[in-house]
Amino acid sequence: MAIAFRWCHRLRTSITVAAKMSTPDSPNASSDSEFDDEEQIPIRPASVKLQDIKTIAALFESGVLKPATSEKLQYKPDPTLLERVSLYQGDITRVDVDAIVNAANRSLLGSGGVDGAIHAAAGRKLLEECRELNGCLTGESKITRGYNLPARHIIHTVGPVYTVREKEEKAAQLTSSYKTSLEVAVENAIRHVAFPSISTGIYSYPIVSATRIALDTVRKCLETEEGSKLERVIFVVWSDKDKEVYETLIPEYFPIGEKPESPEPVAEPESVTAEPEA
């Protein structure tokens, strides 16, 4: 029992260290901590299957999402898209899909927040593969295997560190992070991809502005011929605050159309009996 306790303690310590490796002031900071082979054994909660994640069509149906007023609509309704987009609150490292997106730093070697959590859950082989990628520029994306994650792949994208002075440049970089992630997904025949809220943690991007960029970029992609190959895009949030922002803004970018009225039943014509000729 004492041995088991020490093993669990070391695993928790490794995960905690990985989640505290860098700050926005050091976007190239890397997580060079190595995990022992025994610490690589994944002991995590059960994975979350795609079929258990509700589409926004289901969220509208259940009343979780409320229709936006007409003056707030950013796009016209398209019922088919409501079945291809989801909102899920929980741990992205547990989501069992073709690929999850990692909000990485430029080194791709692990840092804080979701980046550290993904590296800790995926295991040391992820770090080894990331070392071969020679980093990544802000706004660009690269792909690796998922290793110990339920997801088969990880798409690593580098979001911007937000500053008010460079607001427009940062918006363009964040748009590029979502766009290139989706492009990498399509290029690698990935059908289901889950996104965290990129740059809204230690990189300090305002959550409302970042969410609008995420929704707008995904909507535009899904309407393209290449984007039609994506069967599901999942927005994964952790906090209640972020969830509320997505629930408020999703109906503006993926509005629900008016339900068609049921047609009036057509009365059967009365049978006419021919009168005998005179």
User: 258 falls in which pLDDT band (50, 70, 90)?
Assistant: low
HSE-CB of 188 using CA atoms within 13 angstroms: 21
Average pLDDT over residues 207-219: 99
Question: What residue spans define the domains of the chain?
Answer: 2-21+51-253
User: 257 falls in which pLDDT band (50, 70, 90)?
Assistant: confident
> What does the pLDDT read at residue 46?
80
Mean pLDDT score across all residues of the chain: 84
> What does the pLDDT read at residue 5?
35
- Identify any residues that bridge with 174 across adjacent strands, giving them in sequence order: none
124-157 burial code (b ≥16 CB/10 A, e <16): bebbebbeeeebbebbbbbbbebbbbbbbbbbbb
Rounded distance between C-alpha atoms, residue 102 and residue 77, angstroms: 30
- Class of 2-21+51-253 per CATH? alpha beta
> What does the pLDDT read at residue 3?
39
Q: What angle do CA 189, 142, 81 make, to 5 degrees?
A: 45
pLDDT for 42 beyond 70: no
Phi, psi of 274 (to 5 degrees): -65, 135
Q: Which of 117, 105, 85 is nearest to 220 (CA)?
A: 85
- Identify any residues that bridge with 234 across adjacent strands, giving them in sequence order: 86, 194
pLDDT for 50 beyond 90: yes
State the DSSP code for 166. G
> What does the pLDDT read at residue 196?
98
Q: pTM score, two decimals?
A: 0.78
Determine the residue type at 278: A
pLDDT tens digits for 230-254? 999 999 999 999 999 999 999 999 9
pLDDT tens digits for 55-71? 999 999 999 999 999 99
